[in-house]
Chains A and B, each alone.
Chain A
Amino acid sequence: MIPQIEIDKNKCPTPYECKKCLQICPQAIFAVAPTKVERFKETAPEDYEVQAVFKDKCVLCMDCVKVCPTGAIKIKVGGR
């Protein structure tokens, strides 16, 4: 059973400025990385994205959902 973890990019425009979910997760399942990189050029804060890359390790404690200030994280298990 791997949960579906969706992060709404519109509600989470600049993940590096907030990073609450990344730091609270006991299983460290999130990763933040740039979606656009140009050689020797700075990546804009909006071009970073959080993804639940290790979601198979999620224990569904829901800490990230509670801590997210904009409600951008949605976790679903199975059909529920």
Chain B
Amino acid sequence: MCELCEKYGDNGGRWYLNPENYARPLYKKVEKEKEKEPMILTELQGPFYYKPLIELKDNPEAFEKMREGYLKFHETMSGQVVSLEDAEKMVEIAHPIARIDCICRRITRATLEDGEQRPRSCLGLGVGMFRWEEWPERYKGGVEFLSTEEAKEHIEHWHKRGMVITIMTFGTPYIGGICLCDYPDCLAIRMRLDYGIKPFLLKGHQVAKVNYEECTGCGTCVQRCQFGAIKMEVTTKKSNIDMTRCFGCGVCTYACPQDAISLIDREKLPGLKEEW
């Protein structure tokens, strides 16, 4: 079973559909803990993934230290891939919802001051957004409050264009946001795929499977996969999904013109149910 569901789920349900994980008291708790330590750099942009990597240099020991640092970071922040359906249920639970700049993309591609071109693809959830609003423009990169319907449209818009939907916590299990990510901009995907730091981004509750009867081998899904899990089988002219590599984001299911890919529950597959 998913570790987070076990700890924070509501009677065996998915942890991110438990309304308690969106509640104000949890946020308050995180805020209080943060006030104890003076802020030099923020948790998001600071010591955890910025400084340790600088120290990395050519030193394998430093790299191990970095990994440990990230694993510690996971106690306060973790992510998981979710399907579009689950994300839609999440925005029904959360309030308020605000469109915010992608923090990762601002760090890796410096997209902060692109004016109209600004992607602003992520959603911040919960009371923390009123706090985020107090931060100045350059630092926060904007806050734009949305209705539930607008949030659903927003998620669908990016997801159908190929973005992976992920949850980010702000003091696990408090759910602070829904991110729309792609490789290599997204630091969570990157940390997981390139550096093997698993808790940074857990796989979702589903996995994608190709129906070979319907697959025409057009290759649309191959281009869309952000995790490198789909390949084209040249001789059979069918696309093949490595389900052990699949994160279950569902991007390929929407990309497929034949509707030949479907998401199935990870926990129904004995070989994958412990694979997160």
Residues of chain A at the chain B interface (Cβ within 8 Å): 2, 4, 15-17, 19, 22-23, 27-28, 30-43, 45, 51, 53-57
* Complex: A35 Cα to B45 Cα, angstroms: 9
Interface residue from B42, B108, B112 paired with A28 (Cβ < 8 Å): B108
Known: A43-B139, A53-B53. A32 touches B107 (CB 8 A): yes
Interfacial chain B residues near A41, Cβ < 8 Å: 136
* Complex: A23 Cα to B58 Cα, angstroms: 25
Residues of chain B at the chain A interface (Cβ within 8 Å): 39-42, 45-46, 49-50, 53-54, 56-58, 106-110, 112-113, 134-139, 184-185, 190, 194
Interfacial chain B residues near A17, Cβ < 8 Å: 113
Interfacial chain B residues near A53, Cβ < 8 Å: 49-50, 53-54
Q: Give me 16 A-to-B residue pairs in the complex whose CB atoms sit less than 8 angstroms apart, sorted by A's number.
A: A2-B56, A15-B110, A16-B112, A22-B108, A22-B110, A32-B106, A32-B107, A33-B41, A33-B45, A33-B46, A34-B139, A40-B135, A42-B138, A54-B53, A55-B56, A56-B56
* Complex: A26 Cα to B56 Cα, angstroms: 21
* Complex: A34 Cα to B109 Cα, angstroms: 14
Closest residue of chain B to A27 (Cβ to Cβ) is B184
Known: A16-B112, A22-B108, A22-B109. A51 touches B136 (CB 8 A): no
Interfacial chain B residues near A32, Cβ < 8 Å: 106-107, 110
Interfacial chain A residues near B54, Cβ < 8 Å: 51, 53
Interface residue from A2, A19, A28, A34 paired with B45 (Cβ < 8 Å): A34
* Complex: A36 Cα to B40 Cα, angstroms: 6
Interfacial chain A residues near B40, Cβ < 8 Å: 36-37
CB proximity of A75 to chain B, nearest CB, Å: 14
Q: Is the CB of B53 within 8 A of A16?
A: no
Closest residue of chain A to B54 (Cβ to Cβ) is A51
Q: Is the CB of A57 within 8 A of B194?
A: yes
* Complex: A30 Cα to B185 Cα, angstroms: 10
Residue of B184, B185, B190 with highest tally of chain A CB at under 10 A: B184
